Amino acid sequence: KSHIWLRKMRYVENFPGPPLKNRLIGHLKEAMVSPADLPTESYRHYKEYGGIYRFWLLGYAIIFIGEGKYAEIFFTSKTTEIKPDPYRLLHVWLGLGLLTSRGQLWQKRRKLLTPAFHFSNLTKFCDVFVKNTRTMVQQLHQTPDGSLVDVTTLMKLVALDNICETAMGIEINALKNPNHNYIRAVEDCTHMTMERFTKPWRWNDFQFFIMPYGRKYWKDLHTIFELTDKAINNRKIGRAERIQNSSQHLDEAEEPKKMAFLDLLLASCEDSSVTLSDEDLRDEVNTFMFEGHDTTAASMGFTLFLLGVHPEIQEKCYQELREIFQDSDRSPTMEDLQKMKYLEQVIKESMRMFPSVPILGREATDDVKLGDHMIPKKSVIVLNVYNLHRDPKVFPDPEKFNPDRFSPEESLGRHPFAYVPFAAGPRNCIGQKFAMLEEKVVLSYILRDFLLESEHGMDELQLSFAMVIRSQKNLNVRFTRRKKFHGFES
Ligand code: HEM
């Protein structure tokens, strides 16, 4: 064992990074950073040591990368496919769903799930986004003109309504009933999972689950599982009845108009040799619930905040929407959403500055070469997406919010791995088109009706990194009506 330790040490000894004073403990002190200090601390290290540096922790190397050429290897090398140990903390909730599984199991599932995100299905999901966003806008019109709205919370509620309905076919009405048992349980479990990630002394399952917070987590998980299981049961029964009344196999016309992701999954299973148990189905639905609401909510919240700080950019978005809709209050079609080019640039630039998933981790299953550096087997490689997106060689003046960076001309020739809010390579985000459509629907509805003004400036933002980026302060935005609300035209 000691020679393995020495070999690893030799590999990383001369790496850029903080001086190695104690070879046994290594950089324990530097590594114990709270989520609130992580953005500034990691940015400080990045500026000091550059696009690749290391920590040494109890015999393991932790390699931090923040440059496109290293990100490319991170995402594409066979030796960096495995997610590191802390992802294990998600198993109790998400089982071996798409996010947490690996190897052949993951490959089979990815193949099975990909059709659920094809254009025709996204069109159906879009109807759900429109319906829930209208409810949200109607609610906003009922608040006094010029009210300050905490957009993080508002976006979370609309994103939850969208994901519950698209994933399970259940209308939970989080916007109208934010204290719903299930909503509260999802919120609390997400929060506790993030807390656990950043507190290694809570990683041991036994120690975690005997504590009061662990017991509460367990109870919340049961609330979540109860609803997911009920949804699975109902969709299965409905499907079996439809199959019985038809000719063994449902054709397109016999499928329900509003297909949920769960229905698509059941249909895919019928068309392939893969069978999923109820537990497998539950894992996948819970994975989509988990991955598919906090991420989009964070991105939409930061985008509204940024637009509230940059009135001239907001005006450009508004003019684009005026050109598409004129004075009409009609719902957007898929064609309209594709025309929202400038809004798309705004969303992309917002995700550059505030990537919803700011840090990604992988484990090296073998020695791996990163540029001129050799990384020993078993090292944890951390891609800091937040820093990567602030590389001044790729994004000059990186703290400036400038959506023109994503115009077709400006994007030309950029390193393909320099901008990766949805990750890249085979384990990229399966929901990225879904997310972009959802964001366009929600943001365009708000921008068509309201003028936004943020309460705080950019320099007052205090970020924190857990699994999803957060602002420690509420992102309060003033909503002033652009016009009187007469209801919606269909
Ligand atoms: C702005 C919104 C979103 C962002 C920024 C985002 C980002 C990401 C990132 C960075 C990963 C890679 C995670 C890793 O390697 O550990 C990922 C994976 C994943 N995302 Fe998203 N995501 C978003 C929305 C969604 C939505 C809406 C869904 C589902 C409806 C979704 C489902 C998934 C799943 C299932 C995976 C695992 C894919 C695999 O490993 O094959 N995401 N996402």
pLDDT digits (tens, 9 = 90+) for 24-74: 788 888 877 888 888 999 999 999 999 999 998 877 889 999 999 999 999
Give yes or no for residue 429 having a pLDDT over 90: yes
Give yes or no for residue 18 having a pLDDT over 70: yes
Confidence of residue 1 (pLDDT cuts 50, 70, 90): low
Establish whether residue 101 lines the binding site of ligand 1, counting it when its CB lies within 6 angstroms of any ligand atom: no
Q: For residue 218, give both structure tokens.
A: 């367990």
Query: What distance in angstroms lies between residue 407's CA and the mean position of ligand 1's atoms?
Result: 24
- Helix and strand element counts for the chain (H, E): 20, 11
Establish whether residue 122 lines the binding site of ligand 1, counting it when its CB lies within 6 angstroms of any ligand atom: no
Amino acid 384: pLDDT: 96
Confidence of residue 120 (pLDDT cuts 50, 70, 90): confident
Query: What distance in angstroms lies between residue 285's CA and the mean position of ligand 1's atoms?
Result: 13
Establish whether residue 430 lines the binding site of ligand 1, counting it when its CB lies within 6 angstroms of any ligand atom: yes
Confidence of residue 222 (pLDDT cuts 50, 70, 90): very high
Mutate to test the pocket of ligand 1, among 429, 441, 468 (most ligand atoms within 8 A of CB): 429
Give yes or no for residue 3 having a pLDDT over 70: no
Give yes or no for residue 6 having a pLDDT over 60: yes
Residues contributing to the annotated binding site for heme? 429
Query: What distance in angstroms lies between residue 299's CA and the mean position of ligand 1's atoms?
Result: 13
Q: How far apart are CA 378 and CA 203, in angstroms?
A: 19
3-class secondary structure, 171? coil
Instruction: For residue 19, count CB atoms less than 10 angstroms from its CB and return exposed for 0-12, middle for 13-18, buried for 19 or more.
Output: exposed
Confidence of residue 132 (pLDDT cuts 50, 70, 90): very high
Q: How far apart are CA 112 and CA 264, in angstroms?
A: 10
Amino acid 175: pLDDT: 95
Q: Is 126 left (phi over 0), alpha (psi -120 to 50) or beta?
A: alpha
Establish whether residue 423 lines the binding site of ligand 1, counting it when its CB lies within 6 angstroms of any ligand atom: yes
Establish whether residue 295 lines the binding site of ligand 1, counting it when its CB lies within 6 angstroms of any ligand atom: yes
Q: What is the dihedral of CA 420, 94, 218, 382, to 10 degrees?
A: -30
Query: What distance in angstroms lies between residue 432's CA and the mean position of ligand 1's atoms?
Result: 7
Average pLDDT, the chain: 90
Beta partners for residue 57, in sequence order: 26, 60
Establish whether residue 357 lines the binding site of ligand 1, counting it when its CB lies within 6 angstroms of any ligand atom: yes
What pLDDT digit, counting tens, does each position of 337-352 carry?
Answer: 999 999 999 999 999 9
| Residue in this structure with the two tokens 């981790």, named with its chain if needed | 361
Amino acid 249: pLDDT: 60
Beta partners for residue 54, in sequence order: 63
What pLDDT digit, counting tens, does each position of 376-406 carry?
Answer: 888 899 999 999 999 999 999 999 999 999 9
| Atom nearest to 117 CA in ligand 1 | 30
